[in-house]
Structure 1
Amino acid sequence: MEQVTSENFFSKARIHVLLFIATFLTTYYVNGLWYSVTIMTILLSHELGHFFMCRKYRVAATMPYFLPLPLPPFGTFGAVIKMKGLIPDKKALFDIGAAGPLMGLFFSIPAIIIGLNLSDVRPVPSDTSDYLGLGEPILFSCISKLIFGQLPDGMDIYLHPVAFAGWAGLFVTALNLLPIGQLDGGHIVYALLGKKSAIVYRIGIFIFCIIAILLYPGWMVFAILLLIFGFRHPAPIDEITHLDRKRKILGIILFIIFLTSFTPVPLKL
């Protein structure tokens, strides 16, 4: 067993800290301070949800790796943690998978509400060559209608950076909740259905590839990754013990969150 000293702890933590700083800088560079602080908070809360749930069930996991990208519109590829240990049972698998999206959503929705109240409603410009439209998932659309009502024709919401970060958080939540493979949604589906989840994975990948081909070619790279890695999920040690009723109900709620947070065409150039 390796002895953990302060020296090797800081040595291991260095890469996580450097990536965190780099991602803060790239998100700041792309969309400014308010966006950077908000999106970093959402991403960190998502990954810490997974991390602390792994600690609860004594599943070895790394600290979050942030992925910087100095390009618009997001300035980042998000963040990930790597689980190194075996998951003991379906209960632990469900809780680890669900904790990230729930924590991310916990910060994304207030960001959307606060950011929309700071946003402006303006006419859509006649020259739309530099105009970036965002797909509106049902949840985002409902919140915006509560704040602004029905917009007149020719008008649109120009999002404050905090609102855009909330939208991006919703986007990340939906992407992670795809019921496929080793995504968070894949963990949840496997915990609910066991080996039968393979059928759901195949249906999910097929639908996603159709969306990528017919509606939004920007999904193609992610669709290819799902085709390569999305069909299988490692089994927990205990596959016999089933989930309790509360987790089954939460699983249904998370599926509804996915449906109301996902947009097939996220960016409209």
Structure 2
Amino acid sequence: MAEFQPAPPETYAHIDALRREIADLFIVFDTTLDYPEKGYLRFRGRFLRPPAESFDTLRRRFEAHGYTPSVTEEGETVSLIALPVVFTPTNSRWVINLVLYIATILSTLFVGAVYETGDLAFALRHLWLGFPFSFGVLLILTAHEFGHYFAARHHRVPVTLPYFIPMPISLFGTFGAFIRLQGPMNNRRALFDIGAAGPLAGLVFAVPILLYGLATSDIGPIPPNSSFEGNSLLYLLAKLTVFGRILPGGGIDVFMNQAALAGWVGLFVTGLNLLPVGQLDGGHVAYALFGKRARWFYWPVILGLGAITLYSYLRGIFVPTWLLWMFLIGFLGRVHARPLEDVTELDPRRRALAFFTLAVFFLVFVPLPFAGAG
């Protein structure tokens, strides 16, 4: 049996120092030392003022002693945990971001040119032909990522510039982009703002690009044994708005030009990001809105994607997209980003916007990304 190792004397000195620092903000009922070898300090009690008003001050005081505060509910009391770490952001190399962005421009130009000409070799020599697709996709993705970026900066969360992922041998020319947060968020309000800002900002550009693309595209008979893009509710409504009819229907569908394809890709990517699980944008929104109850979305999402996969297989239009996502969610979908102060709930305005953001998921999600004409 391992022997109990008492905490070093300086740890108890830190307890006294932190108790003095929080005396005007937090009434301490009792104090415990969690994991003595790591030095986690836990103060149980209650705040004298709303945590949202106190936390910034609390964090500055803790960081002066080499700690970061974390707040959770613990039964009828509040648990204030002093984590023996201070999050210091590292300098990011913007040159890497720029190189990846230029490479993504080239890869989306190539995919757009191939879509326009149907000839790989010709497209490689005439990349400029893919400009409408590349411009549309990158405008949507850039708006999405900088929505996250500026929301993070607004809440003083250290964050890197976006990393774009080029993928010329793919349907979209890119695997999207991501930013890397270099520190935790203070509360659920920051978590929601950062999570929702991306997809909502991208949608602001995706919808006009889609409508313009549809308005300049042709409709006609669907060739036999061909495949066409799947519908989301918003895409279906967009075609109804532009053409005055449900498409595909009666053997007729729209032949998307590059701008319309870019808008469709924007909606598709937004739908993926808004899946309400794990570290995805939708997972951030769900946790900000429902707290720990957000984990209830995990199995419905897994089972829903499984049902779509089975349905597509029975229809003879099997697409492995959702199998891959089921695999990824199975490993990563249970873990949510938790803010340091996990007590304060969303204010009414953010709560309404959070429900709207989750509703957007149902509008833009594409259950069957590709369908066959038969």
CA contact under 8 A between 1:202 and 1:231: conserved in structure 2? no
Counterparts of 1:156-195 in structure 2, within 5 Å, are 156-195=253-292
Do structure 1's residue 38 and structure 2's residue 136 form an aligned pair? yes
Q: Does 1:123 align with 2:221?
A: yes
Instruction: Report 1 or 2 for greater relative contact order, CA contacts < 8 Å, sequence distance ≥ 6.
Output: 1
State the 4+ residue runs in structure 1 displaced beyond 3 angstroms.
1-4
Supply the distance in 1 between the matched residues of 2:144 and 2:88 (Cα, whole angstroms): 29
* CA displacement, residues 193-223 of structure 1 (integer Å, 9 cap, x when unaligned): 1111111223223322332344343221121
Between the aligned partners of 1:262 and 1:15, the Cα distance in structure 2 is 32
Instruction: Pick from 230, 236, 240 the counterpart of residue 141 of structure 1.
Output: 236
Structure 2: stretches of 5+ with no match in the other structure? 1-86, 113-129, 313-318
CA contact (8 A) 1:213 1:220 kept: no
- Residues 212 and 223, structure 1, Cα contact 8 Å, conserved in 2: no
- The one-letter code of the counterpart of 1:227 is G
Counterparts of 2:357 and 2:229 in 1: how far apart (Å)? Answer: 23
Question: Deviation at 1:2?
Answer: 8.7
Displacement of 1:3 in angstroms is 11
CA distance, structure 1, for counterparts of residue 214 and residue 327 of structure 2: 35
> CA shift at 1:255, angstroms?
1.6
Percent identity reads 41
Partner of 2:308: 211
Q: Does structure 1 conserve the Cα–Cα contact (< 8 Å) formed by 2:185 and 2:191?
A: yes
Q: CA 1:3 to 1:54, structure 2 compared with 1: closer, same or farther past 3 Å?
A: closer
Distance in 1 (alpha carbons) for counterparts of 2:97 and 2:324: 26
Q: Within 5 A, what are the aligned runs for 1:1-269?
A: 12-31=93-112, 32-126=130-224, 128=225, 131-150=226-245, 153-215=250-312, 216-268=319-371
How much has 1:119 moved relative to structure 2? 0.3
Q: Greater helix percent: which structure?
A: 1
With structure 2 as the length reference, what TM-score do the two structures score?
Answer: 0.67
Letter in 2 for 1:113: L
Cα displacement string for residues 96-131 of structure 1 (whole angstroms, at most 9, x for unaligned residues) = 0010010000000000111011100122123x3xx3
**In 2, Cα distance between equivalents of 1:146 and 1:235:** 41
Greater Rg by CA? 2
Q: 1:2 to 1:258 in 2, by over 3 A?
A: closer
**How far did 1:71 drift?**
1.9
1:160 is displaced (CA, Å) by 1.1
Report the TM-score when normalising by structure 1.
0.92
Q: Please say if residues 180 and 205 of structure 1, whose CA atoms lie closer than 8 Å, have aligned partners that are also in contact.
A: no
Q: Distance in 1 between matches of 2:320 and 2:170?
A: 18
Residues 232, 365 of structure 2: 8 Å contact kept: yes
- Mapped contact 1:186–1:201 kept (Cα < 8 A): no
Amino acid corresponding to residue 212 of structure 1 in structure 2: T
Q: CA shift at 1:267, angstroms?
A: 1.7
Task: Output the aligned Cα RMSD.
Answer: 1.9
Higher strand fraction: Structure 1 or Structure 2?
A: 2
SS in 2 for 1:55: helix
User: 1:46–1:104: 8 Å Cα contact kept in structure 2?
Assistant: yes
Q: Is the 8 A contact 1:171 1:262 kept in 2?
A: yes
What 5-or-longer segments of structure 1 have no aligned partner? Answer: none
